[in-house]
Amino acid sequence: MMILAVVVGLTVIGDVALAQCPMCKTSLEANRKNDKNRVGNGINNGILYLLAMPFIAVGSVGAIYVYRQRKG
């Protein structure tokens, strides 16, 4: 049941998420004419920051769980 909810949720949200990609690409290409390295690095750092947050959150919860299981 949970898997079905996840699949349906990703299907509904997928169209909204894909709509944002061309906006970032257009912004990057427009600003790239001024300074080729600065804008690209900012976008890449933002992507890495957004990518790291879920891993940090899940890792923290997992570490707390393991710590409590070993302690008790």
Q: Which tens digits make up the pLDDT trace of 2-61?
A: 778 777 776 766 555 555 566 676 777 777 666 666 666 677 777 788 889 999 999 999
Same domain? For 47 and 26 the reply is no
Higher pLDDT, 66 or 2: 66
Predicted local distance difference test score (pLDDT) of residue 2: 74
25 and 42, same domain (yes or no):
no
Residues 6 and 17 in one domain: yes
Question: In terms of residue numbers, what domain contains 8?
Answer: 1-34
Identify whether residues 27 and 46 lie together within a single domain. Answer: no
Please give the C-alpha separations between residue 67 and each of 53, 54, 56, in angstroms, as whole numbers: 21, 20, 16
Radius of gyration of the chain (CA): 19
Q: Token match 């940090």: residue?
A: 56
pLDDT at 64: 95
50 and 66: one domain?
Answer: yes
Q: Is the pLDDT of residue 68 over 90?
A: yes
Domain count, the chain: 2
